[in-house]
Amino acid sequence: MSKSRVALVRCESYDEDTVYTAVSRGLDFLGGIGRFATPGEKIVLKPNVLIGAGPDRCITTHPSVFKAIGRMLKAAGAVVSYGDSPGFMGKCGPAMQRAGLKQPDEELGMRMADFDEGKPVTHRTALLNSRFVIANGVLEADGLVSLPKLKTHGLTRMTGAIKNQFGCIPGMLKAQFHVKMPDPYNFATMLVDLTAFIRPRLYVMDAV
């Protein structure tokens, strides 16, 4: 596996213009948005919304980060959708509403992808876990852009780029992994397998 390029850009507020400038600068370091999406491609955005906590709590991907990368992908000609599966019972739509992501969606004309239902897949080169059920919205897209929120986590100690893909597993199916894999190392290895199968094209981490 080749090494990933990482751009770290200082951003001190969630002001929309400030965030857009920071995200744009980071993408310039990586070669521009055209490296990650081409006209007509179906790209799904995967923010971290949990059960839909409000932006003021700073535990979900902030709407300004979501909007910035959405604008850039739309400008590149991509057909953009978005979604996440809540950590507990519930549907994608209400969680997105509570997290403040519906207004940017309406402003940019993006559609919500299906993260409530999924299909079984097999990851043949997995390290530990070779079978997953992946949300239909992920499987139907040409590529995924992951929008994690940097924060602490009770089991893995921190949530970052790799942990964010756990929300690509629909609904309460996620709870089964917590039961089957209480050991942090095994759980983290499962997350690596999941991410290696999905292969996000780009991560834009909200670490404000």
User: Could you read off the pLDDT of 55-102 as tens digits, one per residue?
Assistant: 899 889 999 999 999 999 999 999 999 999 987 656 888 888 888 998
- Compute CA 36 distance to the chain's CA centroid, rounded to the nearest angstrom: 15
Would you state the pLDDT for residue 88? Answer: 64
Would you state the pLDDT for residue 156? Answer: 81
Q: In this structure, what token pair is assigned to residue 131?
A: 């079978």
59, 145, 172, 176, 192 from 65: Cα distances, Å: 13, 12, 27, 31, 24
Q: In this structure, what token pair is assigned to residue 30?
A: 């990586």
Would you state the pLDDT for residue 154? Answer: 82
Distance in angstroms (rounded) separating the CA atoms of residues 165 and 155: 16
Element (H, E) at 105: helix 102-108
pLDDT tens column, 104-161: 777 888 999 999 999 999 999 999 999 999 999 999 999 999 999 999 888 888 888 9
Mean pLDDT value across residues 171-191:
89
Would you state the pLDDT for residue 90? Answer: 65
Would you state the pLDDT for residue 177? Answer: 87
The more confident residue out of 180 and 81 is 81
Element (H, E) at 75: helix 63-75
Residue 34 pLDDT > 70, yes or no?
yes
Distance in angstroms (rounded) separating the CA atoms of residues 204 and 69: 8
Residue 15 pLDDT > 70, yes or no?
yes
Mean pLDDT value across residues 181-189:
92
State the CB neighbour count (10 A cutoff) for residue 77. Answer: 13
Highest-scoring range by mean pLDDT, 20-29, 85-94, 169-178: 20-29
Would you state the pLDDT for residue 179? Answer: 84
Distance in angstroms (rounded) separating the CA atoms of residues 204 and 200: 11
Residue 197 pLDDT > 70, yes or no?
yes
Q: In this structure, what token pair is assigned to residue 6?
A: 């990482």
The more confident residue out of 94 and 47 is 47
